[in-house]
Structure 1
């Protein structure tokens, strides 16, 4: 049991570190190969914050604990809105951008609903996975329309400078080291989380929704808080929207793509509605806050309080 707990803690720490190095190495390598800063920002950097969820879900599916992967995707989206944006709004009110209400936020809600519908039959099949991944291509196309400055908005000055200054050899080294560390830490995290779940009689789904989801959302939390402190609020909200769409359209399909799984009923009847509610609540909060022009600390308290309440309900239900 102690070794499993150690594997989870060390796995999470290495996972966060390796994701950062992997993204840095991949972005710098892409720049050395001639990819524009805009394209690097729109693809590698924006998607790279979800690398922990991606690798953990792949390992969980291959290890036969697909519901941990489902819990990771759903739980990460709830965590991104409730914890990440809640904490960010508490640190510094988030200025509202009207374009978010026109395109990004409605798209995130639509993706959330459509992805949820694939679980209605309590199965995640190969066809479901293909449907979701096609949805990712469509969503990326929609997001990139009229987004001439989107790539730069997703990368702050320090990160852009680090990408530009890295030599080809160092970029390749961090790419390989980050990738290997991601694989190893994901394996350790899934193994430790599974042992803990079995020891306490908690389902893989709940472990995925809590420990794993919060742990794999740490890069988004760190990036968003750092961006808020620096006054780059567009990066904070952009990270969450991009990550949530990617989680549902690329991370959640992995179990269906690799093996196909039976989804725990509680995931559909309890956790998916909570995810939809958090997503819809964020859209409503933006609409209600338009006159003030910012998502203030009151909204942050509401989001964070709701997230804590959800975690407490999971804990109480798990111990009944």
Structure 2
């Protein structure tokens, strides 16, 4: 029992550190090769923080633990909105000024609804995985197209300030390569420990994926969002959540399903997918900006509400495990 717990703890610590180095290295390298700031914000910062989720879920699927893979992806989506954005807004209200992020919110909502639709038959087939991976490809094309535009955007301005400038190209590449290597290594350790704990307690790997692993792989987003909000980089804080959830719902689930199609419990659809969908719709409503100034905002009151929802969801999850 002690060894699996230590494996999970060690895996999470190394996962957070290596993910941070990986994103910093990728962003600095992209800047050296002339990638526009907006594209760095949308791809590297937005999607890059989901590197732990895709590595963990891919390894889980390869090792025959699809429950852990799907739980990690959708559990991270719930944690990103309810826990991370809620805590970030409680510490410092998040204002959404970026036009790009406002465009991504309805896209995230539609992809979430489609994900639910694909799982209504309680089976995630190779065809379902292909649909999500096709959506990922289209999303990347749209992202690159918008990221290469020279129109001014608040996210680009914040990325200019946030991307580490002192890094030399050699150091940036070392961060990128070794960050990825330790990301894979720590993910393998984390998956092994999580599966062992699930078996010892007689809990499904899905529940472990929705709780310990989901929160653990979301720690990079938590650290990045809180730090960004404290610096006044609100669009990066929101972009972390939106980009991560888009990547989780398409790439993470799609890759896991392509490796090994799986059957899900109806409870996942009625409980976890329902909570994720309602949170995503709520994020769209409060983050899009239907007010006259056309700016979204997540205030402390809304942040507190999101945290309460996450606490209730976690209690229900444990009781129905």
Q: Which TM-score applies when normalising by structure 1?
A: 0.90
SS across alignment from 2:320: helix
1:173 offset after TM fit, Å? Answer: 2.0
Aligned to 1:221: 222
SS of 2:273's partner is helix
Q: What is the RMSD of the two structures over their aligned residues, measured on CA atoms?
A: 2.3
Matched residues in 1 for 2:289 and 2:267: separation?
A: 32
Match of 2:103 in 1: 103
2:156 alignment partner in structure 1 = 152
Residue 89 of structure 1: CA displacement? 1.2
Name the structure 2 match of 1:253: 254
Does the aligned pair in 2 maintain the 1:67–1:264 contact within 8 Å? no
Which residue does 1:139 correspond to in 2? 139
Is the Cα contact below 8 Å between 1:124 and 1:253 reproduced in 2? no
Alignment partners' CA distance in 1, 2:291 and 2:98? 8
Secondary structure at 2:40 match in 1: helix
Q: Judging changes above 3 Å, is the alpha-carbon distance between structure 1 residues 224 and 156 closer, same or farther for their aligned structure 2 residues?
A: farther
Unaligned runs of 5+ in 2: none
DSSP-derived class of the 2:43 partner: helix
TM-score (norm 2): 0.90
1:149–1:219 Cα change, 3 Å:
farther
Partner residue in 2 for 1:280: 281
Q: Which residue number corresponds to residue 211 of structure 1?
A: 212
Aligned to 1:173: 174
Q: CA shift at 1:137, angstroms? A: 2.6
| 1:40 paired residue number | 40
Deviation track 1:114-150 (CA, whole Å, cap 9, x = no partner) reads 1222222222222212211111232344455368445
Deviations 1:232-259 (A, max 9, x none): 1111111111111111011111221212
Count matched residues.
315
Gaps spanning 5+ residues in structure 1: where? none
Specify the alignment match of 1:231 in structure 2.
Answer: 232
Instruction: Measure, in 2, the Cα distance between the counterparts of 1:5 and 1:234.
Output: 36
Secondary structure of the residue aligned to 1:165 is coil
Equivalent residues of 2:37, 2:159 under 8 A apart: no
Q: Deviations over 1:239-282 (max 9, x none)?
A: 11111111101111122121222223322222111100111122
Alignment map for 1:1-320 (pairs within 5 Å): 1-97=1-97, 99=99, 103-143=103-143, 144-145=145-146, 148-149=151-152, 152-153=156-157, 155=159, 157=161, 159-160=162-163, 162=164, 164-286=165-287, 290=291, 294-318=297-321
**Do the aligned partners of 1:153 and 1:235 also contact (CA within 8 Å) in 2?**
no
Equivalent pair of 1:72/1:208 in contact (CA under 8 Å):
yes
Whether the 8 Å CA contact 2:96–2:238 is kept in 1: the answer is no
